[in-house]
Structure 1
Amino acid sequence: MSVVSRRSSILVPIKNIERELICPICKELFTHPLILPCQHSVCHKCVKELLLLNHEDSFSTDAGSESSLPGSPRSRVPSPSMERLDRLVRSGSISVPGWRRGSVTPRITTFPCPGCEHDIDLGERGISMLFRNFTLESIVERYRQAARAAVAIMCNMCKPPVQEATKSCMDCKASYCNECFKLFHPWGTPKAQHEYVGPTTNFRPKVLMCPEHEMEKVNMYCEVCRRPVCHLCKLGGSHANHKVTSMSSAYKILKEKLSKSIHYLISKEDQVRTQISELEVLINQTADNGALAERQANEHFERLFGILQEKKADMLRCIEQSKTRRLEGLRGQVDEYQGMLENSGLVGYAQEVLKETDQSCFVQTAKQLHIRIQKATESLRTFHPAADPTFDEFALMFPKRRAC
């Protein structure tokens, strides 16, 4: 029995994973997401908006008025990555092959990833070299269906009045009620062998195809580039000298790693709560001791006010800065560990990825997700408060007064 099935009682509802399904550019649910070389996903339309900036937006100094108009690409996507891209284009540090001054649509193939800000170079083939993230697309569709559970998917073939669909054909890419399905898929015909599922609007291809060799199925995994490849890529393509493994082996290894990481993250929930409680106690102690240190400093400097007034102000400032820094550190830890409790979205997303049965689709999604979950678990292994609640270094020492 798998780790996830053993923990089925704590599966995260799909409605809790929305923040994992938001495109970092348009801030909306992914639409036809593409996987960038850095393993982050971006909507197809958003990548096109980054790559197909027109001449007026990118190179004219008079483009300010147009970019502010409603409906323009910039007004729809007011993201830092877009602004950074504009700066790179204007400065000349971004590669714009095939563009010459005066051309209307410069073909940009290098742009900053909105997720990690690393420069992405798509080469001459541009978007066509990117895999479509079918696993993420399916999870988004499941989320949409969960969000609109009260809204039925209607039959695409009914004459009015239209009936509610009961199944969808993945080959015809259409939804049918029972009567229409029997009518359009009669027994004894090739259509009777079509694959059908429950009502859906997500008609993804049955297999993952290589974007470089469009007619070839991917059946291997390149360990150097961390992406699925076909046999032609290995024989004479860009992955000829790379180490590759079978898709089934990569699927098994990544699924096991992802399952173990999810199990670890879930199993540490009580530990996270305990550590948050400890941090809250430390915050109270730090605040109280900081206030006490301020009062003591005031008492000492009142006695020496005439000659040490300047030093008094310096020390109070240091205490305040130290208290602020420590409280910020400790509160930041609380936020960090609170975020672990809120990792239900990440965990739920990972659990949805584990439902992917297509090995190619799973492998292309699971690697980056496994890295994210590993980072989420690192701070659980070694717990150290960010600050010491004591302020002993600010205590003033006075020599004993001699008898008269």
Structure 2
Amino acid sequence: MNFALGFKTTMGESGSMEALEKQLICPICLEMFTKPVVILPCQHNLCRKCASDVFQASNPLWQTRGSTTVSTGGRFRCPSCRHEVVLDRHGVFGLQRNLLVENIIDIYKQESKRPLQPKAEQQQLMCEEHEEEKINIYCLTCETPTCSMCKVFGAHKNCEVAPLQTIYNRQKTELGDGIAILVAGNDRVQAVISQMEDVCRTIEVRITEVHLPKAQL
């Protein structure tokens, strides 16, 4: 599969782009990786400059003079997992570049410049009474979504209202809690049913044993 094509397919939403961006943040500078990106033996990534800064801080006697390296190597700990990274005399320059991450960064930057296409489900609902007004509040008295004009001049001017998004979030939480309670209750019911089935099987076995002739026991 073409990598760029697959990337575009999965990165169509802003939420996915934000999730990807979090994976491209260097744990040292807390910015998007700056090329070249090096991969540590523990499979975590760092900007080469950041890796060099950490390495130099942990090995202050390590240095290079021209093309001559004045050291036999050094070590430092990965800032992500604390795994000890042991380097040879080449230091950070001996680490392998992560070309895959660098390619992802390039594609991400290209995709982030593209305007997001609006989705049908993201279209704003409009008020039937005031066609140019968006439905943005919820009438608690009548238990129905409405618009600001209906609250000020219309049928809901004497009603108690709240922001539509607030009510949506509250009802979504309540629905989630209700589903969790139902699932937990179903688990308990299934457990009781299993216990009753075990009891029934035990009773059936005992009844069979009682009615069997002694010769068959």
TM superposition score normalised by structure 2? 0.40
CA radius of gyration, larger in: 2
The normalised TM-score by structure 1 is: 0.23
